[in-house]
Amino acid sequence: MLRAESSTLRSVRDAGPAAAWLDHALLATALGVLLAGFSTVIGGADWWFTTFLVCALVGLTCAVLRAVGFRWVAPVAILVEFLALTWIFVPSTLYGGLLPTWSSVTGLTSLLDHAQTIIIEELPPVAQAKSVVLVLAGSFGLIVVFADVLLRRRRAAVLVGILLLAVYATPPLISGETPPFLLFAVPAGLWLVLLRSRTREASRTGWPVRIPALLVAMAALFTSLVLPPLLPDVTAVASGWGKGAPDVFGRGINPMLQLGQNLRRNSTRVAAQYTTNLPQAPYLKVATLRDFTGKTWRPIENTTDNDLFEGRVGLADGVKTSDKKTTIRIRDLRSSLLPVPYPTQDVSGLKGEWHAQRAGMTWRSPTDDTRGQRYTATSTLIEPTAAQMRQATTFIGPRLAPYVALPDKIPSIITRTAQAVTDGATNDFDRVMALQSYLRGGQFTYSETAPVAEDYDGNGLDVLAVFLQKRSGYCVHFSSAMAVMARSLGIPARIAVGYAPGRVVSLTRGQNLYAVTNDDLHAWTEIYFSGIGWTRFDPTPGVGSAASFDEPGSASQTPLPPTQANGGDPQGRQDDRVDAAPNASQDQTAPRSAIVVGAGILLVILAPGAVRLLLRRYRLRSRSPDLWWRELEASAADLGVETSLADTPRGFAGRLSSRPGVDTDALHRLLDTIETTRFARPGSGSGASGSSDVQAVLQSLADGSTRRARLRAALLPRSLARATRPAPRVEPLGI
């Protein structure tokens, strides 16, 4: 009995233990290569070995279990993966150094939680934190198990290609960098070998990849080539899938300077509320970006290499300072970075473990996040006079060198503009003020959508060059342009990311209560002046609390040149316009990405039908009765008629003619033709039937079917899946 059962199931079972070993060897190689693609996402190299170890272990488990004919391969493989992960990532929680305990589980989940925060906040390549490696290794292990399940079924083996493709597409989607061609070619080649080993015994033609498989491959190639350039908008949508967009962008701050996406989001959420005794509502800073790669800005990664130029350190004599308190209550924000005014010396009232970042004077937590926090930040209000600022001469030592560093080749428009704008200024302060009023002045307009629409969104050098020509963009472009231009003049500059001051929502106990929302997410420029420290400049027209430098540097001071104050004021005070701009832009971009996504989904839905239609046209236009018959078989399969490769034409026609409404005369003429074509002596004439008979039979077949069957045939043609089955069928190419 056992024997009989195994023989009937033989077609779906794998070909044997040897095949399982080969499968997993190929799969592990492909995944190992694909894993290398993640180097654009994670820094370092150890993670590769860890992840590959987990992959190999899981693959080995699957192969061994297959070889001994064990039934429940997937659950056991997942269990092995879990054990491996606990051994590698939370060894201290193991009982006897081997067995996981409950605290291993909680250890893993807290690591996963931490990984989520890192993924939300950090710019790729992220530091190779244990938690991120855990996510990678865990996912790859599951991929191996999933692929193993797919490989057991003949028809599904093709789908392993899609799995590999998804793995391939992930790093470019995250990092936006186009991976090298080899990364696509090698796994694709291995996949073809995988398919071939699967179909060789079955296919006599030695041509394993049939049309649908080829289509999958072509779609893959197309996706890999076309998708990455489309990134800015697609990523926002794509990476939100499965996670819920609000989780990614709603409550977290992504200091990747992908602020545009955050700003263009539809919903408005209050991130925090605060009261302050600062004379002006402060900017709340969460992160400082120092290193400019030419493509993007990155945070100061190494906190030990330090700049001791922050806050009170190194203040010149005579600069007026005072301590102010700001009490902040977090509402809807999840981040391991704390919004605080600059420069904050101390924070009280925080729950959990928080550390001050000496460079940039922000606060972050390795373990906790901002949810539910209420804290008081003590910051220093530094109020230099314009005269003091003009006198400041900055010596660029090794500690300041990173702040004037620029990539080797910068577009000439940037340096040229910087020179022209600052022409005639005699000191750094005047130059910086000139840059600020140039950007804030009427020549530039604030727009969140123009860069996207005209395809120069981002903050790379080339983008800045375009921005200086188009003169339209948002905070990312303005702050980045100002920082780069200042650096090109040898003035230390960096970018701060955080919240613009927000608006007053009520008056409590004599103090204004301010609220900042995700719409207030902002980037501005900080310029270093010797003896005064990092001073905020906001080159973005129409955003923020107005004039040039009012916060640590006391903008309201009279010594400021009136022209510059005017240059800032008219733009800054137009609060209504500021509010209007993001809203208008949201209205434009939201439908736009919806259209893109909608069109994409529609394309995916219609693709099978379109492929089928093309195939049908090709077959019907041919003069070959053989192809006509194939079309008839395929159409019948689409409409739900049972078909089998073991059908003879006559047997199939017999089944077909029992369907209601089928044009039996035409069918019999067609049958006669196909039998003569296929089986009679060559040259004995190919029957009287023409393509009109095919049309007639197809039409009558469709007419006799239900509307539902016809719709299904049009949208989800079963014959496509049927043809992917590697069948031991002698093809026209063959004999």
With tokens 């009280």, the residue in question is 348
Q: Considering the complex, what minimum distance in angstroms separates the CB of residue 6 from other proteins?
A: 7
Q: Considering the complex, what minimum distance in angstroms separates the CB of residue 663 from other proteins?
A: 22
Q: Which of 79, 651, 692, 711 binds other proteins (CB under 8 A)?
A: 651
Question: Smaller CB distance to other proteins: residue 390 or 725?
Answer: 725
Question: Smaller CB distance to other proteins: residue 11 or 348?
Answer: 11
Residue 347 forms beta bridges with which residues? Answer: 377
Q: Considering the complex, what minimum distance in angstroms separates the CB of residue 1 from other proteins?
A: 6
369 and 333 Cβ atoms separated by less than 8 Å: no
Question: Smaller CB distance to other proteins: residue 454 or 626?
Answer: 626
* Region near other proteins per CB under 8 A, out of 220-228, 279-287, 691-699, 721-729: 721-729
CA distances from 78 to 22, 113, 141, 543 (A): 21, 20, 8, 52
Residue 340 CB contacts under 8 Å (≥ 6 apart), including other chains: 284, 285, 286, 326, 328, 347, 361, 362, 363, 377, 379
Angle 507-509-510 from CA coordinates, rounded to 5°: 65
Distance CA 631, CA 617 (A): 9
- The helix (H) or strand (E) run that includes residue 345 is strand 344-348
Question: Smaller CB distance to other proteins: residue 260 or 687?
Answer: 687
The yes or no reply on residue 1 touching other proteins (CB under 8 A) is yes
* Region near other proteins per CB under 8 A, out of 8-16, 169-177, 695-703, 706-714: 8-16
The yes or no reply on residue 735 touching other proteins (CB under 8 A) is yes
Q: If you ran DSSP here, which 8-state letter would residue 546 be given?
A: -
- Subset of 656-675 contacting other proteins (CB under 8 A): 675
Question: Smaller CB distance to other proteins: residue 254 or 677?
Answer: 677
* Region near other proteins per CB under 8 A, out of 150-158, 312-320, 342-350, 682-690: 682-690
Judged by DSSP in three states, 44 sits in: coil
Query: How many Cα atoms sit within 13 Å of 514 on the Cβ side?
Result: 22
Q: Which of 566, 648, 658, 706 binds other proteins (CB under 8 A)?
A: 648
Residue 663 backbone phi and psi in degrees, to 5: -75, 90
Q: Which of 613, 621, 650, 711 binds other proteins (CB under 8 A)?
A: 650
Q: Considering the complex, what minimum distance in angstroms separates the CB of residue 5 from other proteins?
A: 10
Residue 486 φ/ψ region, left for φ over 0, alpha for ψ in the -120 to 50 degree band, beta for the rest = alpha
Distance CA 168, CA 177 (A): 12
Question: Smaller CB distance to other proteins: residue 373 or 643?
Answer: 643
Q: Considering the complex, what minimum distance in angstroms separates the CB of residue 137 from other proteins?
A: 41
Distance CA 297, CA 459 (A): 7
**454-464: buried (b, 16+ CB within 10 Å) or exposed (e) per residue?**
eebbbbbbebb
* Region near other proteins per CB under 8 A, out of 3-11, 190-198, 207-215, 529-537: 3-11
Q: Cβ atoms within 10 A of the Cβ of 360, count?
A: 26
* Region near other proteins per CB under 8 A, out of 89-97, 303-311, 456-464, 678-686: 678-686
* Cis check: omega of the bond before 125, within 30 degrees of 0: yes
Angle 680-686-687 from CA coordinates, rounded to 5°: 110
Distance CA 108, CA 141 (A): 15
Measured in residues, the chain has a length of 735
Q: Which of 226, 353, 646, 708 binds other proteins (CB under 8 A)?
A: 646
The yes or no reply on residue 16 touching other proteins (CB under 8 A) is no
Question: Smaller CB distance to other proteins: residue 2 or 226?
Answer: 2
The yes or no reply on residue 644 touching other proteins (CB under 8 A) is yes
Distance CA 308, CA 359 (A): 7
The yes or no reply on residue 642 touching other proteins (CB under 8 A) is no
724 and 155 Cβ atoms separated by less than 8 Å: yes
The yes or no reply on residue 645 touching other proteins (CB under 8 A) is yes
With tokens 């239609």, the residue in question is 613
Question: Smaller CB distance to other proteins: residue 599 or 680?
Answer: 680
Dmax (CA) of the chain: 110
Question: Smaller CB distance to other proteins: residue 297 or 628?
Answer: 628
The yes or no reply on residue 683 touching other proteins (CB under 8 A) is yes
Question: Smaller CB distance to other proteins: residue 210 or 251?
Answer: 210
Pairing of strands 355-357, 320-330: unpaired
- Subset of 380-419 contacting other proteins (CB under 8 A): none
* Region near other proteins per CB under 8 A, out of 7-15, 18-26, 92-100, 554-562: 7-15
Angle 230-232-238 from CA coordinates, rounded to 5°: 85
- Subset of 574-633 contacting other proteins (CB under 8 A): 623-626, 629-630
Q: Which of 132, 676, 698, 711 binds other proteins (CB under 8 A)?
A: 676
The yes or no reply on residue 155 touching other proteins (CB under 8 A) is no
Q: Which of 4, 92, 510, 660 binds other proteins (CB under 8 A)?
A: 4
The yes or no reply on residue 8 touching other proteins (CB under 8 A) is yes
Distance CA 247, CA 524 (A): 25
Tokens of 712: 């299904």
With tokens 């925080």, the residue in question is 350
Q: Considering the complex, what minimum distance in angstroms separates the CB of residue 39 from other proteins?
A: 47
* Region near other proteins per CB under 8 A, out of 70-78, 533-541, 595-603, 726-734: 726-734
The yes or no reply on residue 9 touching other proteins (CB under 8 A) is no
Q: If you ran DSSP here, which 8-state letter would residue 315 be given?
A: P
Question: Smaller CB distance to other proteins: residue 510 or 683?
Answer: 683
The yes or no reply on residue 728 touching other proteins (CB under 8 A) is yes
Question: Smaller CB distance to other proteins: residue 15 or 149?
Answer: 15
Question: Smaller CB distance to other proteins: residue 304 or 684?
Answer: 684
Question: Smaller CB distance to other proteins: residue 342 or 628?
Answer: 628
Distance CA 112, CA 35 (A): 20
Question: Smaller CB distance to other proteins: residue 604 or 645?
Answer: 645
Distance CA 496, CA 499 (A): 10
Q: How far apart are the first and last CA of the chain?
A: 39
* Region near other proteins per CB under 8 A, out of 96-104, 317-325, 364-372, 677-685: 677-685
Question: Smaller CB distance to other proteins: residue 50 or 724?
Answer: 724
Using alpha carbons, select from 133, 240, 241 the residue that is nearest to residue 250.
240
Q: Which of 68, 679, 707, 708 binds other proteins (CB under 8 A)?
A: 679
The yes or no reply on residue 707 touching other proteins (CB under 8 A) is no
CA distances from 702 to 641, 659, 714, 722 (A): 11, 10, 11, 19
Residue 291 forms beta bridges with which residues? Answer: 298
- Subset of 467-506 contacting other proteins (CB under 8 A): none
Q: Cβ atoms within 10 A of the Cβ of 141, count?
A: 27
Question: Smaller CB distance to other proteins: residue 71 or 681?
Answer: 681
* Region near other proteins per CB under 8 A, out of 98-106, 263-271, 345-353, 725-733: 725-733
Contact positions vs other proteins (CB under 8 A): 1, 3-4, 6-8, 10-11, 623-626, 629-630, 644-651, 675-684, 686, 727-735
